[in-house]
Structure 1
Amino acid sequence: MKLSKGSVFLRVVVLAVLGSSIALNTILYSRAKRYYIEVNQTRLDPFGLNEYPTNLQQVTKTDRTRIVFFGDSRAASWNPPNISEYEFINRGIGSQTSVQTIQRFAAHVTPLKPNIIIIQVGVNDLKTIALFPDRRDAIVANCKANIRRIVEESKNLGAAAIVTTIYSSDELHLNEQGYAILNQPLSQLLNSMERKKIKN
């Protein structure tokens, strides 16, 4: 039996809709599964203490200036500038809020004995404002207070604290080119700090 052009077109449309529906549901399922895993990981380890070695018995000694990137996923994704005088260590964890990061500072940062700590955190706090608009002022105030605590903890270690802007690109993250651009002023700042240290 020969199908009419209209019937063929209708079948093609139905198959296309079914294919799109399957693809969309696959994506949604994948995201839901990832979110479910993240939620339960947070329940088991709310501060992410198991993400990195803690309470290091012996920190490798180095003559280079040790710099730690500390904070959320934007810190975790930060590829440092290629400067031989510095040793870069990353202690960022995705999806964390400022209160989570401050709770793991002693475990993940203190044992490293850093000279400089680059702090990139806060956007996940601010994301919750859309869910709890009536708590906006409290969320912002708590975020600022937690960042100040991280800065104070850094100073207590004798480390310089660099607090970066809560920037956004593709909603939350910079791409590789973005980090490369960000590393330019960072390199200039580090060189400036090094010159001041030499003068003193």
Structure 2
Amino acid sequence: MLIADDHALVREGLRKVFELDDAIQLAGDAATACETLFELRRGRVDVVVLDLSMPGCTDVDLIERIVEAYPTLAVLVLTMYADPYIARRALDAGAIGYLTKDISIDLLIEAVHEVAAGRSYVDPTLRAALGCLQANAPQTLDQLSARERQVLLALVRGKALIDIAADLNVAPNTVSTYKSRLMEKLGQGSLSDLVRYSIRHGLAG
């Protein structure tokens, strides 16, 4: 297992916690995104406990890079952010687990064993809120209207709003409304998040 956090005290504290469990073998630690990727290239890691605020890379981008390069690796996010929207983004990016840093030691160790076995684990305080987000987010294009689907596909292909409006013979502010509606329905906070989410879930194929 690899510990990835930019705070030395946190890394040392986590190391002492995990050393309490003989079944957990530590492969090392990392303080930046580059160090994390370097350690993973050594091929000795099956679980990475990852802070979201790592220098050198934005939060979900690092998760996506790890999952793309090491699809069998379990990413367990351990962060200060107790926000279900942030948790949803991390899980959508490929993390298999999400915990906040106020979780108990027992639950932290339990989570490590769960993700190592390929099972997802979410902080108990966030499960209900994440369930609501999931229930409100459509997972296929069939759940979007025909016009919403057209706008989404155009956005994924990188078209500008004014060009989409011309193609659909509508006003640009109408396309903006569709974009906002899509972001709300799919639970995404920005256009780039919407595009990544759509590609990742096969909503743009």
TM-score, with normalisation over the residues of structure 2? 0.37
Higher helix share: 1
- Greater relative contact order: 1 or 2 (C-alpha under 8 angstroms, separation 6 or more)? 1
Which structure has the larger Rg over C-alpha atoms? 1
